[in-house]
Amino acid sequence: MLGVTSVKNYYVLSNGRVRRESNTLYIETADGAKKPLPVEDVESLYVYGEVDINTKLLNFLSQKRIPLHVFNYHGFYSGSYYPREYLHSGYLLVQQVQHYQDAEKRLALAREIVRGSAHSLLRNIAYYDRRRPGTAAEREPEGEIGNAELPGDPETEAAVDAALDDPSVDTNFQADDDLDPLESSLTLNDDAPSLGQIRATVTALAALIGAQTHVNAVRGVEGKMRERYYQAWRHILSSEWLFERRVRRPPDNEVNALISFGNSVLYTTCLGEIYRTQLTPTISYVHEPGARRFSLALDLSEMFKPLIVDRAIFRLINTGQLDASHFDKSMDGCFLTDAGKRLFLRSLEDRLATIIKHRRLGRHVTYRHLIRLECYKLVRHLTDVEPYRAFRAWW
């Protein structure tokens, strides 16, 4: 209908085997059930259960350029089988490294990526501020699953862009701890600040991004913005869902379990999109490159978490699709059950498949493809075609 190619991730939650038979992929469960997968429609494979594989399968995945991502039972990322790179560019690799090594070039990219992240945070806050009790938008449908071409908010977009691009701010902070003086002036003396107050605080923090002269300081501003953003969740989520602060390993409640699980899925989705380009996933600009992680995927995922992961969480909770039965607290921490994983993964796939008309390209694209386009924009920046401008939702 819209001319958008439909590819998606496939998730294996049951124990069993994934194998190749002729030119077809099959998932075989422990009870003997056998399900074929349409190989040409598979973007990536995600394995959560105890699954047997062999080199015949890995060779086939490499031939079809399908990454395989492995997670432990609780949904924490373990690693990936990354097929042999097929889009090589020695020139781009050199440029990617040079932009990391050149402090000024790296800082410029880090600032812009965090601006994109700030924009996404503020758009979510503004969206739910407009829907607060007593407003005309309170009873609007939750989210934009399937087609996101809903009326935008030009006033909000203009205000956010003005804050992000304000050249008049000259305050500079060298590290996270140096933001404490700023905290005292921006933090509200209120145990439960309103969405409007939180929005003002995040906007004030966002205005400082361009003034930072060290990447560590840029990360510090981003961290403080996200802390304030999480304060807004008490206004967004149904009242019976408790969320005080972000707790990671292990997550201590249902909301933290959802955030951790969803962020892992998005991280590997970003990794898969990087793989489809000539970029090297281990060289990044906001996060420090390090052992055992693809840090460029972390950079990209920060911009898309609010749009994809967080909005999926809000929708599932506020429409009553999730309840206590979807979580397991019998071990140290709180984790999704298999039923909860299936429900959440289905919601995440719905969001990745959401279609919008790209206002610059003039054609329809999915949210998943927006991540690929972000990679292409980085390539164009690194090769001096055009300066990078981070993703900003316009709808």
pLDDT of residue 392: 93
Q: In what order do the strands lie in the sheet with 24-29?
A: 34-37, 24-29, 16-21, 51-52
CA distances from 113 to 45, 182, 294, 360 (A): 28, 22, 16, 19
Say whether both 64 and 185 belong to one domain.
no
Say whether both 69 and 103 belong to one domain.
no
pLDDT of residue 382: 96
Looking at the structure of the chain, the number of domains it has is 2
Q: pTM of this prediction?
A: 0.82
Say whether both 96 and 19 belong to one domain.
no
Say whether both 27 and 46 belong to one domain.
yes
Instruction: Identify the domain boundary among 81, 106, 122.
Output: 81
User: How buried is residue 198: exposed, middle or buried, by Cβ count under 10 Å (0-12/13-18/19+)?
Assistant: buried
Say whether both 162 and 305 belong to one domain.
yes
Say whether both 72 and 101 belong to one domain.
no
Residue 18, domain CATH: 3.100.10.20
Instruction: Identify the domain boundary among 81, 106, 133.
Output: 81
Per-residue model confidence as pLDDT tens digits over 26-60: 888 888 888 888 888 888 899 988 889 899 889 98
Q: What value does the CA radius of gyration of the chain take, rounded to a whole number of Å?
A: 21
In a domain, 206, yes or no: yes
Say whether both 146 and 259 belong to one domain.
yes
Closest CA to 236 of 83, 129, 371: 129
Say whether both 120 and 64 belong to one domain.
no
In a domain, 389, yes or no: no
Say whether both 232 and 146 belong to one domain.
yes
Extract the residue ranges of the chain whose pLDDT is less than 70: 1-7, 85-87, 132-191, 291-292
Chain center to CA of 268: 9
Residues placed in the known binding site for Mn(2+): 222, 287, 302
pLDDT of residue 215: 96
Say whether both 61 and 196 belong to one domain.
no
Say whether both 53 and 149 belong to one domain.
no
In a domain, 245, yes or no: yes
Which helix (H) or strand (E) covers residue 61, if one does? helix 55-64
Instruction: Identify the domain boundary among 34, 61, 81.
Output: 81
Say whether both 289 and 330 belong to one domain.
yes
Task: Identify the domain containing residue 201 by its residue range.
Answer: 90-382
Residues placed in the known binding site: 222, 287, 302
